[in-house]
Amino acid sequence: MSKIKYPISLKQILLFSFLIILVLGVSTALVSTLVRQDDKIKAEENNLALNGRTAQTVQNSFENMKSNSYLLFESFSAVADPAQQKELGDAFFRSNPDILFVSSPDTDVLYNPEYEKYSAGVNAFLNSNSSFGKDIMYSNATEVFEFPAVIFDYKYGPSNDVKDGIVGLNVASLAELMSTGSSNTTILVDKKANVLINPDFGSAQTVRDDLLPTIQELAGNSMETNTQVPLDGVIAAFHQIKDDLFVITTISEKSIYAVINRTTNRIILFSLAVFFAAIILIRIFSNGITNPVKELVVASNKIEHGEFELDIEPRTRDEIGLLTTSFIQMGKGLSEREKLMVSFSKFTNKTIAQKAASGELTLGGENRNATIFFSDIRSFTAMSEKMQPNEVVEFLNAYMTRMVECVNQTNGVVDKYIGDAIMAVWGAPETSGSPEGDALNAVTAALMMRDSLSKFNRERAGRGLPPVKIGCGINSGPVVAGQIGSEERMEYTVIGDAVNLASRTEALNKPFATDVLITENTWKLIRDKIVVAEMPGVHVKGKTDAIKMFAVINLVGREGPKSIDEVRSIIGTVAPDLTKVNTDDEEKKYNIQA
């Protein structure tokens, strides 16, 4: 049985899987795309709003620190008593706990008592940054205080007496404020992109390079400005506040789409679950179709090999069930037809029976080039007189079985039995492909009969029975082949001069003391493939020249006899005096008709 390359169940699974994947895929893509766009818009709006609120808070904080420290500086300039100044300073730091220190020409450096331990670091920082009051207004002092801190300076006093005030500010609360966004990151930078406040104060105090162009574009604008731009992997909102400070709030696209990605992944997992569940259901459903079909395929294979009794039953009441019922009936019909064919084949050749049953053979004939074979048992009449009728039939059946097997094995057709004689044909109704091939098959069959008869005689000798001798005659030539008879009773046979000559040739085996004779017609077709011994020619009615006869010794290269004497030794005959044999006197003209 041929292997099925694309089973129906596989096709069903692939088809439904494609549809399920298509529907779920398109649905997932649409949901993901639409929700993704909405999430992006909402995230941008939230990012910009958070940036604005944070910027306002940072600006208010710095402005309050400036105002409060300015009041301290003015109070110090109005009070000369050191004790009072100390009271003012203590009161100031109690009211402004986030101020780490202040410095001005009026106060010198005043430290919040809680942070006085950092005085050495502050002094070193101020001494190393001599630009305070000139170029630098804000500086990140986290490294001095080990927590988020900013030192800034500003101008105060009347225009004719402007002074520099320096304030150190604990910005931990601002840093915490900037980190409240779950997915947003906010930092404070100056116009040179130096980071002043970073929620992750331990990180590098630098900004991404792609933030610089926007900072530089906004720097120097005296008015507060806010904008939002998409960058590589993030969306950044910028808000410019006083003193050229920038509050930058970013949100990564990854975090924007995190929720929808999780939702999409859940949808995909759900889709996969639906997909596998669908495959299982499809498989179960397809089994209801494919299993009966597989049974029909197996049944068809059995019928193909001649097994017509089927052990299948319809399982369903649909079209497949109906087909199964019809298939069972077909098997029964073929079984009856096969029984009839077997019976019919016993009365004629199987090939002819098959062609007749299929309607390929009709009343009429056709011209063929064929090789005709006749064989006959020597002295059969005398032999049969010594046997009972049932013994004669039993003997002939045993003998014919062996001889016919040789014909069948060489693709010949037994035309008819004439008493103890056998007539066979090669080249009609089927041919090996060429007259040469048919002739060689016929000679091969005759030599096989010689070997088979030798074994048969040894068996008979073991039972004390006399040996059987036969003669075989073979001729090749044109014949008329076909169904001859009436519409009610027909028989396939071949007729013509070639048939009559083959019969005449078989009769010459007795005077020549041979067992297989072929005519010159057959010899010319296969002369290079057989070993022969030429015999005297024979005149046939209607022919002027004598037709040469050849005794077949063996096939070229085949084991066995190499000379005619060895053949006669095998078949148990004595070489005659061929000069005294008159083949014309021995002529027996058979007119073989259907």
Mean pLDDT of all residues in 253-257? 76
Q: What is the pLDDT of residues 471-528, one digit of tens each?
A: 999 999 999 988 777 767 777 888 998 999 999 899 899 989 999 999 999 999 999 9
Place of tokens 């009051």: 133
Integer Cα distance of 282 and 1 in angstroms: 26
Query: Each residue of 25-35: pLDDT tens digit?
Result: 777 777 667 77
Give the global pTM: 0.47
Q: Which of 50-54, 84-88, 214-218, 532-536 has the lowest mean pLDDT?
A: 214-218
Residue 409 confidence class, pLDDT cut points 50, 70, 90: very high
Lowest mean pLDDT of 170-184, 461-475, 519-533, name the range.
170-184
Q: What is the pLDDT of residues 386-405, one digit of tens each?
A: 888 888 889 899 999 999 99
Average pLDDT over residues 248-260: 78
pLDDT mean across residues, the chain: 81
Amino acid at 228: Q
Task: Answer whether residue 267 shows pLDDT above 70.
Answer: yes
Helix ranges (H only) for 378-480 are 380-385, 389-409, 435-462
- pLDDT at position 437 is 94
Determine the pLDDT at residue 98: 93
Give the range among 59-68, 336-345, 374-383 with minimum mean pLDDT.
336-345
How crowded is residue 402: how many other Cβ atoms within 10 Å of its Cβ? Answer: 15
Q: How confident is the model at residue 182 (pLDDT cuts 50, 70, 90)?
A: low
pLDDT at 355 over 80: no
Given pLDDT bands bounded at 50, 70 and 90, which one contains residue 584? Answer: low
Give the least confident one: 42-51, 129-138, 459-468: 129-138
Range picked from 27-31, 91-95, 124-128, 210-214 for highest mean pLDDT = 91-95
The pLDDT of residue 589 is: 42
pLDDT band at 127 (very low <50, low <70, confident <90, very high): confident
Instruction: Determine the straight-line distance between the first and last CA of the chain, rounded to whole angstroms.
Output: 43
Residue 587 has pLDDT above 60, yes or no: no
Tens digits of per-residue pLDDT, 1-11?
456 666 666 77
With residue 549 as reference, give the H or E element that holds it.
strand 547-555
How much of the chain exceeds pLDDT 90, in percent? 26
Span 198-246, pLDDT tens digits: 877 555 456 777 777 777 777 766 556 788 888 888 888 888 888 888 8
pLDDT at 226: 80
Location of structure tokens 């940072």: 58
Altogether, the residues listed in the chain come to a count of 594
Contacts of 28 (CB under 8 A, 6+ apart): 264, 267, 268, 271
Backbone torsions φ then ψ of 35, nearest 5 degrees: -65, -35
Distances (CA, A) of 544 to 209, 478, 539: 119, 19, 7
Q: Write the burial class of residue 553 (CB in 10 Å: 0-12 exposed, 13-18 middle, 19+ buried).
A: buried
Give CA separation, 371 vs 355, 438, 440, 493, in Å: 20, 6, 9, 13
Residue 406 has pLDDT above 70, yes or no: yes
Task: Using pLDDT thresholds of 50, 70 and 90, give the confidence band for residue 343.
Answer: low
Q: Give the DSSP letter of residue 197.
A: E
Residue 419 has pLDDT above 60, yes or no: yes
Position 551 scores a pLDDT of 94
Task: Report how far residue 57's alpha carbon sits from residue 59's, in angstroms, rounded to the nearest whole number.
Answer: 5
The pLDDT score that the predictor gives to residue 456 is 92
Question: Omega of the bond prior to 213 within 30 degrees of 0, cis?
Answer: no
The residue among 19 and 434 whose pLDDT is bigger is 434
List Cβ neighbours of 139 (8 Å cut-off, separation of 6 or more): 129, 132, 150, 151, 152, 194, 196
Task: Count other Cβ atoms within 10 Å, centred on residue 8.
Answer: 13
β-strands 516-519, 530-538 pairing: unpaired
